[in-house]
Chains A and B, each alone.
Chain A
Amino acid sequence: MQPAQAIDWSYAPAPETFPVELSPEHGLFIGGKFVDPRSRKHFETIDPATEKKLSRVAEAGKADVDAAVKAAQKAFKGWSRMRPAQRAGYLFRIARRIQERARELAVLESMDNGKPIKETRDVDVPLVAQHFFHHAGWCDKLAHAVPGVEPRPIGVCAQVIPWNFPLLMAAWKIAPALACGNTVVLKPAETTPLTALRLAEILQEVDLPPGVVNIVTGAGETGRLLVEHPNVQKVAFTGSTEVGKRIARACAGTDKRLTLELGGKSPNIIFADAPMDQAIEGIVNGIWFNQGQVCCAGSRLLVEESVVDEVIGRLTHRMRSLRVGNPLDKNTDVGAINSRAQLERVNSFIECGVREGADRIVCFDGALPDTGYWVAPTLFRGVQPAHTIAREEIFGPVLTVLTFRTPDEAIARANDTNYGLSAGVWTSRASKAYEVAAGVKAGVVWLNTFNQFDATSPFGGFKESGFGREGGRAGLAAYLA
């Protein structure tokens, strides 16, 4: 027998080499055309993995937002009165084009966002296509979605979306709005505008009538101008609870319809009788998918006390095999944090966790890249329910571990938060899984799985995680008068 030798587990680089053409400057998409901003202002968007500039993007000012809303108003009559089957035709074609250009969109998304190509290719973009396909099918079936009332659109929808799933959030907003006969002005996040603008190209390719979808890029001020615009009838926002509250106040005193998909601090509950191999993968997926920059991330791990050592032992072993680095490498598990600001925010939470007395565990043996924004997968043990890292949304690859003894205590701890977006429950006993699911105040509960998304399945939160749902029949309500 040969003596056991140390095995080199490192992988050769496997970069995705699909060429993505990128113009040096992007205009606004208004009335079916790309136009220069009347503000004459631009900003840069960078690749967070390299900090290199990708392109210059227009910053929409007041006159630009006015023009976009006007274009959407003008398009509303024709679009809302179009025969539903014809409206469906456009949405089906958008879905098909997205599938045709899927790899290009995936690569561009990874470049602009920093998330691994494995995720953009296998999760984000396929879900985008599905969302359009599913909602295309609703166009001529709305009467069956809301029986007893005539389904009518609301009008011009102001939609402001975040940077964590840039194209997917655009699809979640645009597809149901259009299916119900509304027109749209969308504002992508300032750090990730490129895939939404590529989607605008697709809208041109399928001859979507001008003005049905308009895209204005910019930062917070552009978003504020849009949601506060008097000629907008509906506001949909996905982002932080803090900004969501500001928008809710801004919409108070108007007749605008509002849906908000906000932050979370979601519990992932592991019982001693959980199918442990699957649970460990579910924990990993729950918090390190998309670098933890997921509103429904399973960021609070609640473990039954009797198995906490086993769970942490297995988890730290598994963490060592996570590959952190180049988002465009097909083997990468954890990519770059989206921006310097977010990196600083995540790091400040990590410092806070240490300062408040929790035990930080980092199981990452490799070296993080020299340029770009990186956080090694991190977990905290010995966390008390009152600790800042157990209460506030970190929005990064940082897991906090707490324990419980009984199902009732698990439910109480799970609900000890102002948020209520999602929850995970891991147990081999179905009745226990359902009992805990019933007790948890969350809009989505995953039993023996985590981070599952589907166009047919409503997503959204309880409590301060916002209101309104996206996907499925429940999601249509947000876009019907």
Chain B
Amino acid sequence: MATVTKTWKLFIGGAFPRTESGRTIKAVAGGTVHHLCKASRKDLRDAVEAARAAQPKWASSTAYLRGQILYRLAEMLEARRGEFIEAIRATSRTTPRKAKAEVEASIEHVVSFAGWTDKIAIVLGSQNPVAGPFYTFTGIEATGVVGVLAPDESPLLGALALACPALAAGNAVVLAASERHPIPALVLSEALATSDVPGGVCNILTGDHAELVPAMATHRDVDAIVAAAKGKHAATLKAGAAENMKRVTVVDPASDFTEPRWRSPVAFRGVTEAKTIWMPSMA
């Protein structure tokens, strides 16, 4: 056993608080017993509040700046490559080779979205040739606060595949880590804390999805949800989301997140809004 073992906590508003509930989840990784935070509905509300506070500034920073900050996050992931591989290997009992491949794909994924920030509008925006004397443009904006439910398969790559499009577009994220393998997401929280991603832009919770899903679904200050979910969870999300017309994107938790579609413009569908501006073109 190492001389000092790490205490894993939640990541909210750029800080590492313990759950207000005091509840823990027992997890064994690498022969060490950990007591992770079991986030409560109150922790979720705190995370949403932090996300809401951080989102406007994140969205209004230039796309170029957001790109550089996400690239910086990739640099921080690279620096923790070993720790990520170990976390994935230890908790999900996968082979070292597969763990390494997942970490490499994850870093590449973040870099790819660092390159998306200033191309979302180029690829998805338009000038609309309306049949009248008007200039009409459609721009692309962030939806707002996005809840993300990470899958158990590929706990790191899956979390990033679902969170990166939202972040790149200028949303703030509340990420519920993989329920079965939460530690890779907690390592991610440490990478986020040492990157230039502003506090509150990406918050990470560990806990029971059965408890977090209904709370996230009905929270009126969550604007969109991207969830690796099936069956009951998916239905609960969609029903709860109707309350404030949340955009819900449900993806198969067993998806192969290395497929090109996860890095394509399709990824921005549920986390962006199209805004069309009309302007007379004749004096």
Which residues on A are within 8 Å of B, measured CB to CB? Answer: 85, 88-89, 92, 96, 130, 133-134, 136-141, 144-145, 407, 429-432, 434-436, 438, 455-456, 472-473
Contacts and interface: CB of A to CB of B under 8 A. Distances in A.
Given A130-B64, A133-B68, A145-B123, A407 B115 contact: no
Contacts of B92: none
Given A133-B68, A434-B280, A140 B122 contact: no
Contacts of A436: 283
- Which residue among A92, A138, A432 has the maximum number of chain B CB atoms within 10 Å of its CB? A92
B111 A92 contact: yes
A429 B281 CA distance: 11
Interface string B116-148: 111100110000000000010000000000000
B108 A85 contact: yes
B119 A137 contact: yes
B265 A144 contact: yes
B282 interface: yes
A470 B135 CA distance: 24
Interface string B62-73: 011001100100
A443 to B, nearest CB: 16
Contact of B118 (A85, A134, A139, A145): A134
Interface in B54-103: 63-64, 67-68, 71
Given A141-B116, A144-B265, A438 B64 contact: no
B114 A137 contact: yes
Interface residues of B, number: 25
Contacts of B68: 133
A456 B67 CA distance: 13
B279 interface: yes
Nearest to A179: B115
Nearest to A456: B118
Given A430-B280, A431-B280, A133 B108 contact: no
B255 interface: no
Given A130-B64, A133-B64, A144-B264, A435 B111 contact: no
Nearest to B263: A140
A432 to B, nearest CB: 4
B112 interface: yes
Contact of B283 (A140, A435, A456): A435
Contact of B111 (A89, A138, A144, A472): A89
B280 A472 contact: no
A137 B123 contact: no
B118 A137 contact: yes
